[in-house]
Amino acid sequence: MKYKVKDTTNIRNNYGIGVLSARGVEDIQHFLNPTAEHSLQDFKDLDDMFDAVEIFVAALDCDTPKFALVVDCDVDGFTSAAILYQYIKDIKPEAEIDYYLHSGKQHGLSDLCDIIIDKDDHYTLCLVPDAGSNDYEFIERLGELSSPTLILDHHIIEDTTKISDWCVIVNNQNSPNYKNKNLSGAGVTYQFCRALD
């Protein structure tokens, strides 16, 4: 995001307050100390959340659950993946999780699908936080190996995107009842963990 700082006085005196002010936050104290009226919206307002929980729990209940975790190559992607990884290890320490990192600035499954398929580990579930909503063709290829995919995303789903029968997508952009369209991928992932709890 690009911002033009109008007044650098506040930034020199108190950087945090100066940045918030420069970005249009008028009541900084209220912003820094939110009340209950600003609490996180109910996860039930995210479409397909219960389907996501159902396929995840089914995968977790296997004798030897094995997950492929796609880590997007930005802060939101790493944070989202860390939330899922830690959550799984907390509730089922014996679960195997192979994580896949992009070699560059790619997102989703485009550059990792072949690598996941070549590993031929027959994953119980492929997890794609913070990406993947528009990855129909790659999800289909994983599905041919009987590996369903769970997408926890916040990016806009393109009008031309088909939705695979091999996946469940939880996406705040595609959920009419979810008001916060600025929720990050980590936010959607956190809401998923709340639903699991």
Sort strands 149-153 and 125-129 into parallel, antiparallel or unpaired: parallel
Give tens-digit pLDDT for 81-123. 999 999 999 999 999 999 988 777 777 777 777 777 777 667 8
pLDDT at 51: 96
Give the global pTM.
0.82
Tell me which range, 17-26, 138-147, 158-167, is most confidently predicted by mean pLDDT: 158-167
Higher pLDDT, 152 or 116: 152
**Looking at the predicted structure, is the pLDDT value of residue 3 above 70?**
no
Name the architecture of domain 43-196: Alpha-Beta Complex (3.90)
CB 151 within 8 A of CB 170: yes
Q: Which amino acid type is present at position 152?
A: L
Q: Where are the domains of the chain?
A: 9-35, 43-196
Centre a 10 Å sphere on the Cβ of residue 157 and count the other Cβ atoms it contains: 15
Q: How far is CA 189 from CA 22, 76, 193, in A?
A: 30, 10, 6
Give tens-digit pLDDT for 12-66. 667 788 778 877 888 888 888 877 777 788 999 999 999 999 999 999 998 889 9
Secondary-structure breakdown of the chain: helix, strand, coil percentages, each rounded to the nearest 5:
45, 15, 45
Nearest-angstrom CA–CA distance, 96 and 185: 23
Nearest to 60 by CA among 32, 37, 90: 90
Q: How many angstroms from the chain centroid is the CA of residue 1?
A: 20
pLDDT at 17: 80
pLDDT at 11: 54
